[in-house]
Amino acid sequence: MTELTGALSNTEPPTSVALRGNLGIFQITLLVIAAAAPLGAVVSAAPIGFMVGNGPGLAGAFLVAGLMMLCFSVGYGELIRAIPGAGAFYKYLSVVFGARVGAGAAWVALASYLAIAISLATVTGYFTDLTLQSLGINWGWKTWTVLVIALTAYLGRANIDFAAKVLVPLVLAEFFMLFVLGLSIVMDKGNAALPLQAISVSAITAPGMGVGLMIALAAFLGVESAALYAMEARRPEKSIPGATRLAVALVAATYFVVIWLVVGDIGVDTIKEEAATAQGELVINLFSRHLGGTVATIVSIMLCTSNFACLLSLHNAATRYVHVLARDKHLPSVLANTHLQKKSPANASLFVTVLVSICIAVPASLGYDPFVFLFPVTLALGTIGLIGLQAFVSLAVIAHFKKVSDRRYFRILISPLFALGGLSVAVYLICANYGLLTASESVWVNGTPILLLVLFFYGLIKGHSKPV
């Protein structure tokens, strides 16, 4: 840690220069969508939902999750508009419930983003190695993980406008490939491509509904991160709420329609068994059958870039939490310093990179396979942390606007109330199925959510009483 502090202070001289960027609604929307990783969610997460969740009812589960997140984004957008400034969960919960509660939430958010960044760095290196082995390139997952972390570190220290230029084409390419797959299924199946049975109440509430809804909501992680770019956006009072709602709408529509089409293509009665057989190859096989083996190979490679885009987006989110926490004296002030030329939170980015690297290097050096040992635990921990905070913020929307006697009932009461109820149920379901997410029977592993409670109460006790 001494070496890290020295590197930070020597590389970046102390400065109070503000973060700067020129992000508009379009760029912020795609930064947020990158965190949701649409291609990764459809190719990697959906087969698990089909297999151990509610089968064909997964399409309906994504519809419910999408509506829930749209309601969350409506209330969240109004809170963003009413409480200007950077900090996202930290900022809003501090203003509504007090600085100490906000500090506790900030620690939970930072831990959650770091956990997911660790899981994504691991899975990106792992699957990049598996994908390129088929092309005769066998460098090993450790090499690819190091390269992925190094590239993330470089882009994370750059001005956010530059990072956006890298992420935008990657995200657009993901949407394009999913659109092409969906179009090919419709052209092949016609009306049968969208079976009404898949979105019926009986299909949605079939055994495994809890798992299906849990996986659907987990696919939306990171959609709240637009507010973290407030200091780097043009007209943040308009671009941040607009980008949040647009990102959620695009992602929700894409997930729902594509997964519904996958069910229609494979068959309502056979999707569960087919997913159990093909597992991670389920959607890749559809690309191969409809568009050819070459396209399927391209999609496999794009899955790696999708994971990387998601990693970079969440790295940026964690970086900005570190920056804001350091600025408000919850972390060493050196982490709040900004790069004089790039106007980026370079010190905070380096700190996040070092933490992620250590958390992967330690189990690797002890002989553990981080993909098996680390990936499921960190992903599960980050999922429960962020969904729990989304529910907390929905409560904050209701509480804040009740104080100011606002009468826009749909935006500031009905929508956040629906989101609060649904997300609270999701937190319960995740806790009840936590062992499924971690793929472990260890009491220690499945007790990791206690860490989030410890961090929250640490922030509650140690948090500054000054307003944010």
Mapped to the 3 state alphabet, what secondary structure does 40-80 carry? HHHHHHHHHHHHHCCHHHHHHHHHHHHHHHHHHHHHHHHHH
| Highest-confidence segment of 205-209, 391-395, 399-403 | 391-395
Kindly tell me if the per-residue pLDDT of 138 is higher than 70: yes
Confidence at residue 14, expressed as pLDDT on a 0 to 100 scale: 43
Confidence at residue 11, expressed as pLDDT on a 0 to 100 scale: 39
Confidence at residue 4, expressed as pLDDT on a 0 to 100 scale: 33
Residue 285 is encoded by which pair of tokens? 């096989």
Per DSSP, helices labelled H in 98-197 are 99-133, 141-157, 160-189
**Positive/negative CA dihedral, 202, 203, 204, 207:** positive
Confidence at residue 141, expressed as pLDDT on a 0 to 100 scale: 86
Confidence at residue 19, expressed as pLDDT on a 0 to 100 scale: 55
For the 2-462 domain, the top CATH level (class) is: mainly alpha
Question: Residue 270's Cα: distance from chain center in Å?
Answer: 30
Interatomic CA distance for residues 201 and 197, integer angstroms: 9
Confidence at residue 227, expressed as pLDDT on a 0 to 100 scale: 72
Q: How far is CA 450 from CA 111, 139, 387, in A?
A: 12, 37, 15
Kindly tell me if the per-residue pLDDT of 17 is higher than 70: no
Interatomic CA distance for residues 245 and 265, integer angstroms: 30
Which of 142-151, 257-266, 273-282, 452-461 bottoms out in mean pLDDT, i.e. has the lowest? 273-282
The arithmetic mean of pLDDT across residues 14-38, rounded, is 69
- Closest of 8, 27, 32, 17 to residue 309, by C-alpha: 32
Confidence at residue 200, expressed as pLDDT on a 0 to 100 scale: 93
Are the CB atoms for 149 and 165 separated by under 8 Å? no
**58-92 residue pLDDT tens:** 999 999 999 999 999 999 888 888 887 666 788 88
The arithmetic mean of pLDDT across residues 307-334, rounded, is 87
Kindly tell me if the per-residue pLDDT of 222 is higher than 60: yes
The arithmetic mean of pLDDT across residues 344-356, rounded, is 91
Which of 246-250, 271-275, 296-300, 369-373 bottoms out in mean pLDDT, i.e. has the lowest? 369-373
Confidence at residue 10, expressed as pLDDT on a 0 to 100 scale: 38
Confidence at residue 187, expressed as pLDDT on a 0 to 100 scale: 95
Interatomic CA distance for residues 140 and 130, integer angstroms: 8
The arithmetic mean of pLDDT across residues 399-412, rounded, is 82
**279-305 residue pLDDT tens:** 878 999 999 999 999 999 999 899 888
Quickly state the pLDDT bin for 394 (edges 50, 70, 90).
very high
Which residues are CB-neighbours of 209 under 8 A, at least 6 positions away?
A: 53, 54, 57, 61
Interatomic CA distance for residues 422 and 63, integer angstroms: 13
Kindly tell me if the per-residue pLDDT of 258 is higher than 70: yes
Kindly tell me if the per-residue pLDDT of 193 is higher than 70: yes
Q: Rounded to two decimals, what is the model's pTM?
A: 0.84
User: Which residue has better confidence, 179 or 157?
Assistant: 179
Confidence at residue 152, expressed as pLDDT on a 0 to 100 scale: 92
The arithmetic mean of pLDDT across residues 123-146, rounded, is 87
Confidence at residue 466, expressed as pLDDT on a 0 to 100 scale: 47
Confidence at residue 84, expressed as pLDDT on a 0 to 100 scale: 76
Helix axis angle for 282-291 and 236-266, nearest 10°, is 80
Quickly state the pLDDT bin for 20 (edges 50, 70, 90).
low
Confidence at residue 385, expressed as pLDDT on a 0 to 100 scale: 93
Kindly tell me if the per-residue pLDDT of 40 is higher than 50: yes
Percent of the chain surpassing pLDDT 90: 38
Distance in Å from the first CA to the final CA of the chain:
28
The arithmetic mean of pLDDT across residues 335-364, rounded, is 86
In the chain, domain spans = 2-462
